[in-house]
């Protein structure tokens, strides 16, 4: 085996044949992060037949103190069960970085060590023993944190399925189905954005990522769509004029049905009185709800006569996987459920195109219903996802003196946040 530097073309060719590469192991991600002050390059391992058997995208940065540090986002493109290759790659990287005076390099393999249901029950334990083996190679493990302390989330909500979109929908939670119905009842529609809509997208998500400016997302859209359409942005918009028309229609229709039920209850000798009474009570609630919709839609039309965009989301296409990069909504209009409708629209569209993996991105590792991030889990878990747990972050120290010096720098966050986490 031999450790080599690689071209972007060589890396992409190997990646295209590698099973289940993650979204951070894309050359486009390296190019994107070059706009944040990082350099990037590609390295790999070739066997005796000169075939590539492992590869990595490497980001690195030079500090004003002239210290250097590196990061392999999402881990290496490698078979982590092949300990011989993994050990050789690790030793080769350490030698390679030592020659270049790099203090340390970080990896965060996005390979699951546990797959759980949304209640925390383990359904599978792949890659068992990976953490301990990496530690035996000299990597320092940062532990099994539960929240969002790392560069990348340690827990993702993922839907892997070959089912039809109809079957996928049928497996959604009742709460999610209700929200999708309500979105339609309030005349919310989803449309796909274009490059000129990136600013509108950014305005809806910027509160979640204060360390990323508009230029970052303009670059993101350009880079991922340079050769093929890999990034898309979606919006949910209320057609306020149509919303009022629909609200009035729903209210009048339900009121007529409610009056008919009331008349039926007046009939003598009813054999199904309990059934009709139950339907009448449900209809009463709907009449009240639709009346509120009419009042709200009237005010919305007055304030937003041309309509109102309430939510947005961005995705990246990674082979047959759809990765939900980030989303955002107007807090005052969450009850229009635009975000839920966007997610379902995307899943339906790409399930019908035979995409089989939908990574809804970050959730908390604390799956208890009282956790502070329980709302996030409830939203993403409603789509029938499983929770994938990754091992977390590992540092391999190359120069201990420099590493300790960096740790003591005020505010130094051992590489700093590099992703746009979707939480």
pLDDT of residue 414: 52
Closest by alpha carbon to 316, among 173, 220, 189, 187? 220
Handedness of CA 204, 206, 209, 212 (dihedral sign): positive
| Reported confidence tier of residue 388, pLDDT bands at 50, 70, 90 | very high
Q: Compute how many other C-beta atoms are within 10 angstroms of the C-beta atom of residue 151.
A: 22
Helix, strand or coil for residue 166? helix
Q: Is 173 left (phi over 0), alpha (psi -120 to 50) or beta?
A: beta
Q: Compute how many other C-beta atoms are within 10 angstroms of the C-beta atom of residue 352.
A: 12
Closest by alpha carbon to 131, among 75, 60, 52? 75
Mean of pLDDT values over 50-70 = 94
pLDDT at 209 over 60: yes
pLDDT of residue 259: 96
Torsion angle (degrees, nearest 10) of CA 24, 27, 29, 34: 140
8 A C-beta contact, residue 96 and residue 3: yes
Residues sharing a CB contact under 8 Å with residue 334, sequence separation 6 or more, in sequence order: none
pTM of the model: 0.93
8 A C-beta contact, residue 190 and residue 341: yes
Top-confidence residue, 420 or 103: 103
8 A C-beta contact, residue 332 and residue 338: no
Per residue in 154-197, pLDDT tens? 999 999 999 999 999 999 999 999 999 999 999 999 999 999 99
Per residue in 125-151, pLDDT tens? 999 999 999 999 999 999 999 999 999
Q: Percent of the chain scored above 70 by pLDDT?
A: 97
pLDDT at 6 over 80: yes
Residue in this structure with the two tokens 């993101």, named with its chain if needed: 220
Per residue in 258-309, pLDDT tens? 999 999 999 988 889 999 999 999 999 999 999 999 999 999 999 999 999 9
Per residue in 403-423, pLDDT tens? 999 888 876 665 444 444 566
pLDDT of residue 422: 65
């Amino acid at each position: 085996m031999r450790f080599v530097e690689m071209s972007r073309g060589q890396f992409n060719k190997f990646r295209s044949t590698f099973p289940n590469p993650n979204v951070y192991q894309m050359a486009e991600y390296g190019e994107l992060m070059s706009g944040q002050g990082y350099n990037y390059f590609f390295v790999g391992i070739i066997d005796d037949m000169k075939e590539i058997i492992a590869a990595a995208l490497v980001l690195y940065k030079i500090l004003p103190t002239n210290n250097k540090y590196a990061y392999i986002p999402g881990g290496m493109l490698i078979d982590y069960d092949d300990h011989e290759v993994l050990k050789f790659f690790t030793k080769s990287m350490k030698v390679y970085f030592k020659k270049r005076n790099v203090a340390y390099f970080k990896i965060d393999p996005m390979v699951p060590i546990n797959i759980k249901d949304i209640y925390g029950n383990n359904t599978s334990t792949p890659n068992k023993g990976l953490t301990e083996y990496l530690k035996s190679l000299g990597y320092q493990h940062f532990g099994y944190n539960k929240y969002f302390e790392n560069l990348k989330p340690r827990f993702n909500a993922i839907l892997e399925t070959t089912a039809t979109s109809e079957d996928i929908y049928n497996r959604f939670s009742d709460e999610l189905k209700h929200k999708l119905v309500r979105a339609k009842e309030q005349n919310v529609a989803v449309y796909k954005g274009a490059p000129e809509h990136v600013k509108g997208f950014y305005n809806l998500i910027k509160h979640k990522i204060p360390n990323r400016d508009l230029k970052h997302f303009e670059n993101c859209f350009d880079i991922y769509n340079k050769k093929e359409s890999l990034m898309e942005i979606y919006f949910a918009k209320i057609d306020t004029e149509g919303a009022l028309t629909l609200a009035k229609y729903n209210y009048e229709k339900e009121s007529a049905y409610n009056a008919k039920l009331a008349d039926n209850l007046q009939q003598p000798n009813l054999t199904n009185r309990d059934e009709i009474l139950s339907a009448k009570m449900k209809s009463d609630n709907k009449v009240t709800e639709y009346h509120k919709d009419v009042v709200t839609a009237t005010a919305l039309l007055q304030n937003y006569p041309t309509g109102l965009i309430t939510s947005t989301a961005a995705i990246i296409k990674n082979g047959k996987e759809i990765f939900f990069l980030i989303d955002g909504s107007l807090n005052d209009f969450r009850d229009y459920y635009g975000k839920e409708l966007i997610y379902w629209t995307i899943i339906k569209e790409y399930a019908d195109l035979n995409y089989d993996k939908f990574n809804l991105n970050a959730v908390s590792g604390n799956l208890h219903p009282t956790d502070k991030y329980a709302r996030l889990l409830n939203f993403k878990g409603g789509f029938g996802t499983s929770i994938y747990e990754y091992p977390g972050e590992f540092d391999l120290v190359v120069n201990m003196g420099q590493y300790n010096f960096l740790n003591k720098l005020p505010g130094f966050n051992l590489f700093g946040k590099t992703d746009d986490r979707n939480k």
